[in-house]
Amino acid sequence: MKRLGVGGWIILALAAVYFIGPLVLTVIFSLWEGRGHYGISAYVTLLQRPNIVRSLVVSVELALATCAALVVLLVPAMVFMNLYAPRLRPLFEFIAALPFVVPAIALVAGLSALFSGPEWLIGTPFYLVIPYFFLALPYAYRAIDVGIRAIDLTTLTEAGQSLGADMGQIIRLIVLPNLRTALVGSTLLTLAVVMGEFTFANVLLFHTFAVLINEVGQNAPTEAAALSTLSFLITWLAMAGVLLAGRRGGVQLSGAR
Amino acid sequence: MATVEAAGVSKSYNGRTVLAKLDLAMTDGELICLLGPSGCGKTTLLRIIAGFVTPDAGRVLVAGTDVTALPASARRMGMVFQSYSLFPNMTARDNVRFGPRVGKVPLAEQHKRADRLLEMVGLASHAGKYPHQLSGGQQQRVALARALAVQPQVLLLDEPLSALDAKVRAQLRDEIRRIQRETGVTTVLVTHDQEEALSISDRVAVMNEGRLLQVATPSQIYREPADGFVARFIGAAAVLPGVTEDGKVRVGQIVLHAEAARQHAAGKQVDLFLRPEHVRLEQLNGHMPPDGVAADVGDTTFFGSLTRMRLTLADGQIIWADLPSEQAEQFKPGSRVLARWDAESPRVIPRG
């Protein structure tokens, strides 16, 4: 491999400053106690807040529920489209890109007008899974699409059918395990999207983690910085966990040697 | 193990006819090859038998029962595909026991069956390996074991050897034949390779443009092709257009003797088929026997024990001769020689 030249190092250093700089400054600011003192008092106050754990749990639950909804709805839909209606691909691509062009605030308005029930859903934060599904759709679609293109879906499905398996068994036993890497990718992106989502939760008056960060930031800036640092760590740990889980017993998709 | 019958099967895609009212009946335990150029409909026929394609008309019968309306998963047919189709997330053993597993066979029996079949295809020691750890030939063996694990009534092989290199292909071809005989399962093999078809089949079904041209044993297909297409497609043959005379065929200005010309009225437009292994060469020594023809030696192709020589007749027609290689050395490229063959050798088939 060629060694990195001076120019390369400079670019790397600039990129590092650009990405890591704000993070480091946030951490330093979160430790500031005023008048040149530094300590962890912001973290202590933060963790003593009554609703922090609750909002964190809500956000994580929402992220997981969104991931589950994507696996249950999106994966079979994409499998069937690829197998039986490949002509619909442009339509799928279009729909998957839509959430990028529709502003969040418009989505909220549309959503509240469209879904007025059922009672057990709209009263709980899980109502947010519906908009989050659409928010995460472009990322999840892209990740799963790459995964499906990497396997010979038609042949694997026909092989399964000729061995007597029904479509449910084929998806559960053959397709999903071979989309593992793609599903890990889609889960990571969904986690990141949902954990940081503010507009929907705020407008619909649900107390998620991102809403809490905003709330704290308005009256206690160092605490908000501490919270951002924590949220960064939690998200990062979650992603590392998903990555590790995906790698263990991961499937290699190379062909014959 | 069962008889298989396709009765009046038709299929067209976007107005293009792929299969035209095709009838094919297979006896129990038979290995039949569907042979033809790409686009002849052989794969479509196989996929109709498998249940992946619904015919526009006609029926598929297995052991006398109409299965046309049954989905592929209910037909109990093992299938081996052209492309590698093992499930990448499963070991060889898990691949083989997949069918019994979804068929709710008890676990112990699943493993017993998988191990027995992996042993049969010579891969007992590879049972724990994943597909990406196996060579192409090994993957197709596992695929064969997997197809047999459902104890199929019919085994369908869709060009299973075409992705393999020549040596592995020949080995696996013999192995498929052995295993097919051992299990006695009725088998349909699709191929475009005539050598493969001739060497492995009980019967060969030659197809072109959605029709069956001839269904016969390999030696019948080779020796008595039903028409010009079959003769051209099976084995190398020179095809010379001409007009029949008494026991001869006139091709341009030259007259080639062929006993089979007597089967047709004199003056009929025919094609004369002459296989290279039937042509003998002699040195020209001024004297021209009535059953001989002068030819100029052109390029030669060395096949080891045999050498194929390209010969140009007086008015530019080309024939070939396969000679034992040491004999072929006597005839130098560019020299003029005498080409002869037995009058019974050429086939004469009406043109049109």
pLDDT digits (tens, 9 = 90+) for A100-153: 888 878 888 887 787 776 777 777 778 888 888 888 999 899 989 999 998 999
Given A164, A177, A254, which is nearest B150 (Cβ)?
A: A164
Would an 8 Å CB–CB cutoff place A159 in contact with chain B?
A: yes
Whether B214 and B226 have beta carbons less than 8 Å apart is answered as: yes
User: Which residues of chain B neighbour A158 with C-beta distances below 8 Å?
Assistant: 50, 52, 72, 79, 81, 85
Across the interface, whether the CB atoms of B102 and A169 are under 8 A apart is answered yes
Strands (DSSP E) along chain B, which ranges? 4-13, 16-26, 31-35, 57-62, 65-66, 77-80, 154-158, 186-191, 203-208, 211-216, 238-245, 248-251, 254-257, 269-274, 280-283, 292-302, 306-313, 318-324, 336-340, 347-350
DSSP H/E element including A33 = strand A32-34
d(CA A87, CA A95): 14
- Mutation to test the A interface, candidates B48, B81, B87, most A Cβ within 10 Å: B87
d(CA B32, CA B205): 7
Instruction: Tell whether A75 and A197 lie within a shared domain.
Output: yes
Q: Is residue A250 part of a domain?
A: no
Q: Tens digit of pLDDT per residue, chain B (352 long)?
A: 589 999 999 999 988 999 999 999 999 999 999 999 988 999 999 999 999 999 999 999 999 899 999 999 999 899 999 888 999 999 999 999 999 999 999 999 999 999 999 999 999 999 999 999 999 999 999 999 999 999 999 999 999 998 888 888 888 999 999 999 999 999 999 998 888 999 999 999 999 999 999 999 999 998 888 888 888 888 778 888 889 988 888 888 888 888 888 888 888 898 888 889 899 998 888 778 878 888 999 999 998 899 999 999 888 888 999 999 988 888 888 889 999 999 888 888 888 6
User: Which residues of chain B neighbour A177 with C-beta distances below 8 Å?
Assistant: 89
DSSP H/E element including A65 = helix A52-69
Would an 8 Å CB–CB cutoff place A158 in contact with chain B?
A: yes
Would an 8 Å CB–CB cutoff place A33 in contact with chain B?
A: no
**Three-class HEC string of B294-314:** EEEEEEEEECCCEEEEEEEEC
Q: Is residue A257 part of a domain?
A: no
Angle between helices A129-150 and A75-84 (to 10 degrees): 40
Across the interface, whether the CB atoms of A174 and B87 are under 8 A apart is answered yes
d(CA A152, CA B84): 9
Tell me the sheet residues that pair with A37: A34
The number of residues making up chain B comes to 352
User: Which residues of chain B neighbour A164 with C-beta distances below 8 Å?
Assistant: 73-74, 76, 99, 102-103, 150
Whether B3 and B39 have beta carbons less than 8 Å apart is answered as: no
d(CA B44, CA B36): 12
pTM: 0.80
Element counts in chain A: helices (H) and strands (E): 15, 2
Instruction: Tell whether A109 and A193 lie within a shared domain.
Output: yes
Q: A-B interface: how many C-beta pairs under 8 angstroms? A: 92
Instruction: Tell whether A1 and A57 lie within a shared domain.
Output: no
Across the interface, whether the CB atoms of B78 and A256 are under 8 A apart is answered no
Q: Which residues contact A120 (CB under 8 A, 6 or more apart)?
A: none
User: Which residues of chain A neighbour B52 with C-beta distances below 8 Å?
Assistant: 158, 161
Across the interface, whether the CB atoms of B99 and A166 are under 8 A apart is answered no
Instruction: Tell whether A125 and A22 lie within a shared domain.
Output: no
d(CA B195, CA B350): 26
Given A159, A164, A257, which is nearest B85 (Cβ)?
A: A159
What is the domain extent for residue A25?
Answer: 1-30
Instruction: Tell whether A147 and A72 lie within a shared domain.
Output: yes
CA B168 to centroid of chain Cα atoms: 18
Would an 8 Å CB–CB cutoff place A154 in contact with chain B?
A: no
Q: Is residue A21 part of a domain?
A: yes
Across the interface, whether the CB atoms of A156 and B130 are under 8 A apart is answered no
d(CA B196, CA B171): 11
**Residue A115, domain CATH:** 1.10.3720.10
CA B340 to centroid of chain Cα atoms: 30
Residue of B nearest to A164 (CA): B73
Using CA atoms in the order A50, A52, A57, A63, what is the torsion angle rounded to 10 degrees?
150
Q: Is residue A137 part of a domain?
A: yes
d(CA A6, CA B176): 62
Instruction: Tell whether A66 and A193 lie within a shared domain.
Output: yes
d(CA A250, CA B88): 11
Q: Is residue A252 part of a domain?
A: no
Tens digits of residue pLDDT in A44-100 = 888 888 788 888 888 888 888 999 998 889 999 999 999 989 999 999 999 988 888
DSSP H/E element including A92 = helix A89-101
Q: What amino acid occupies position B345?
A: S
Instruction: Tell whether A48 and A25 lie within a shared domain.
Output: no
Instruction: Tell whether A130 and A167 lie within a shared domain.
Output: yes
Given A161, A173, A253, which is nearest B72 (Cβ)?
A: A161
Instruction: Tell whether A115 and A10 lie within a shared domain.
Output: no
Across the interface, whether the CB atoms of A253 and B136 are under 8 A apart is answered no
Q: Which residues contact B343 (CB under 8 A, 6 or more apart)?
A: B247, B257, B258, B259, B291
Q: Is residue A20 part of a domain?
A: yes
Whether A147 and A179 have beta carbons less than 8 Å apart is answered as: yes
Q: Could you give the number of structural domains in chain A?
A: 2
User: Which residues of chain B neighbour A165 with C-beta distances below 8 Å?
Assistant: 73, 98, 102
Across the interface, whether the CB atoms of B84 and A251 are under 8 A apart is answered no
Q: Is residue A253 part of a domain?
A: no
Across the interface, whether the CB atoms of A173 and B102 are under 8 A apart is answered yes
* Token code pair at residue B300: 């030669």
DSSP state of A174: I
Q: How far is B78 from chain A (nearest CA, A)?
A: 6
Element counts in chain B: helices (H) and strands (E): 10, 20
Q: Is residue A35 part of a domain?
A: no
Instruction: Tell whether A188 and A70 lie within a shared domain.
Output: yes
Instruction: Tell whether A151 and A25 lie within a shared domain.
Output: no
Instruction: Tell whether A83 and A117 lie within a shared domain.
Output: yes
